[in-house]
Copies of this chain bind each other. A is one copy, B any other.
Amino acid sequence: MPRTKSYTSDDIAQRALGVFWANGYAATSMAELVEATGVSRKSIYADYGGKLALFVACFDQYQNLVVTPALRRLEHSDAGLDEIAAYFEQQISLAEQTSTPRPGCFVGNSTTEVAPHNAAVAEKVKHHNQRLLKGFTTAIGNAIRAEEKPMHVKELAEELVVFTTGLWAHSRIEPNCDHLRKLASTYLKNLARSLA
């Protein structure tokens, strides 16, 4: 009778994510993916059909493995500025485990490298940004005292998404993670001041 599979498609994508994240799409070869996943070309092609499809699947893995854990505290209805800070700290401490050139944010990298050429990737990028925006919006909304006017919460959250994109881009070539921490905390400090 048939031998049972020793790994799932997700296993492949999880391991492929690490390579794509570190090197980008174009600079990652199938040979590297075979090596990094420990799975033969035959099986990769059987499960995904090709390099691009595998890359797209990595977005879901990135959400599961990186984004969801990082947003764990932020994605509660009572989250506030501390939970935004926790998101930054989580991602920076992750970056700290690598050295320059750091991987940065898989989504941010794909925004410039792949999304302009590929609709499926562009869609995933948009979805990620909306997820981030939603978390930031909740947190900033909660940080405003109820008796205050609603201000422009959505606007401030959008600003923060843009800043975040820039921060992870800088993280690629910034060797000093404490500098990244400083950038994040200064931004949040000023944000808090503007809400007071």
Number of chain A interface residues as a range: 35 or more
Is A101 an interface residue, CB under 8 A from the partner? yes
Say yes or no: A112 contacts B109, CB within 8 Å: yes
Q: Which of A44-89 contact B (CB under 8 A)?
A: none
Q: How many copies does the complex hold?
A: 2
- Given contact pairs A26-B26, A113-B113, enumerate 8 new A-B contacts (beta carbons under 8 Å): A112-B172, A115-B172, A115-B173, A116-B173, A158-B183, A165-B165, A165-B166, A166-B167
Mask of A159-186 contacts with B, CB within 8 angstroms, 1/0: 1011111110110110000000011001
Contacts from A to B (Cβ < 8 Å): 24, 26-27, 100-101, 104, 108-109, 111-113, 115-117, 122, 125-126, 152, 155-156, 158-159, 161-167, 169-170, 172-173, 182-183, 186-187, 190, 193-194
A105 to B165, CA, bound (A): 14
- Minimum CB–CB distance from A192 to chain B (whole Å) comes to 11
Measured CB to CB, the closest approach of chain B to A161, in angstroms, equals 8
Asked whether A169 and B27 contact (CB < 8 A) given A155-B186, A183-B158, the answer is no
Knowing A162-B183, A163-B163, the reply to whether A112 touches B169 (Cβ < 8 A) is: yes
A27 touches B117 (CB 8 A): yes
A116 to chain B, nearest CB (A): 3
A152 surroundings in chain B (CB, below 8 A)? 186
